Chains A and B, each alone.
Chain A
Amino acid sequence: MMKALLLDGSLNNEFDMIHSSIVEELERNGFEVESILLREVKVAACQGCFDCWIKTPGECKTDDYGRDVAKKMVQSNLIIHFTPITFGGYSSELKKVVDRFIPTILPFFTKRKGETHHKYRYEKRASIIAVGFSDEPDDEKESIFNELVYHNSLNMGAPVHEAIIYIKNQSKNDFINKFAKILKKVEETT
């Protein structure tokens, strides 16, 4: 069974309805879903010490839930980044676990798409679907969000990556249809 990890970086429950629809769609497609409401879990900020590369390779020195999330990320087939679009990027709640993903890659440099990146630690890596939600449409913020997801996919080695935007009061069915199409791509690639 394919595993999906939904990292819920919302700051309130305003978009819970979309969250529920995503979970339903994932389960309908045969995914085993684990959803983590990040604002309710304590995860320390990454200290940028690189101990996870040179002292305890593959594991953060901070023994908290951040370690569990990193493990779940590695062991999933699909990671959903669920977040309010925050200045074009992720919310602080989502970012606190994205920052802790560093132990799951290697320190060594390599070139990818003409840029220097870190080599992957694991052969099997999860696809990423980033769901950004917002009260109003904003082309500029949405464009930055798309770029961010693309660059995350380069760093994390996601076989499939997509950013999808939900604007408040948008038709839920339209959104879920788009989401389902992306899900098909993930299933075909995994």
Chain B
Amino acid sequence: MSTNKKALLLVGSPKGEKSTSLSLGNYLILRLEEFGIVYEKRFTHRLVNREEKKQDLLKMIDNADLIILSFPLYVDSLPAPVIKTMEFINEKKEKLESKKSKSFIAICNSGFPEASQSTIALQICRIFAKDCGFIWKGGIAVGGGGAIHGVPLQERGGMVRNVIKGLDLTAQALMDSKEIPQEAIDLISKKFIPSTLYSMFGNLGWKLQARRYSAKKKLRDKPYSI
């Protein structure tokens, strides 16, 4: 991909500026910016029910050479507002005026330590790209998203070094009009810490957070029992 090209970053998290989806998408887009790419950024949750913003989105897609969708895993798939946005884009694809080819990549982060749990969500993204006539350049799965916790990757230290290396490789590949290399996918999907430790710290973390809201003793409540 040569310079003067345009990218569109779509962030699919309701947490917006505080999301891990933005941390990951931002890092990649900043690397691409260093190569001369100009970009626009939108949050799917803020546009999905607003007609005017959806029309703007179509214009941005029309202008883009590269579309990056970064989102959290929600129950084995994408969050509903992201799917709604995808349905809208697919429904309106005939209205896209620009005939230039568009590349599409997806980054999925999950709260589980195994990045592989995002496989289905990324497959859905691949089919979406195919149905819309976009060029699928690959999907990236990040496990243990809780460890990034919406902080810019550059500030997260050594724990995310493999994610950073992988995204650097991804940026270079996209600039060369190539698919995301397997090396990058493998690096990014490496566990930050072993699953057992992640679960142990996670379980402790839930209890500590609940205590802060005086809800520790209610953690296992069953309000909908018959």
Contact = CB atoms under 8 A, between A and B. Distances in A.
Interface of A: 11, 45-48, 50, 53-59, 70-71, 74-75, 86-92, 95-96, 98-99, 101-102, 104, 106-111, 115-117, 121-122, 140-141, 144, 147-148, 151-152, 155
A147 B117 CA distance: 11
Interface of B: 13-15, 45, 72, 74-81, 83-84, 86-87, 90, 112-114, 116-117, 119-120, 123-125, 127-128, 131, 195, 198-199, 202-203, 206, 209-210, 212-213, 215, 218-226
26 contacts: A46-B79, A48-B13, A48-B14, A48-B72, A55-B213, A55-B215, A57-B221, A58-B218, A58-B222, A58-B224, A87-B124, A87-B125, A89-B124, A92-B87, A95-B80, A98-B75, A99-B75, A109-B198, A109-B199, A111-B199, A116-B195, A116-B198, A116-B199, A122-B225, A144-B127, A155-B76
Nearest to A143: B123
Nearest to A147: B120
A89 B79 contact: no
A155 to B, nearest CB: 6
B120 A92 contact: no
Given A89-B124, A95-B83, A98-B75, A53 B131 contact: no
A98 B76 CA distance: 10
B112 A116 contact: yes
Contact of B224 (A53, A75, A102, A151): A75
Given A48-B15, A54-B206, A71 B79 contact: no
Given A87-B127, A88-B127, A148-B76, A58 B81 contact: no
A45 B179 CA distance: 33
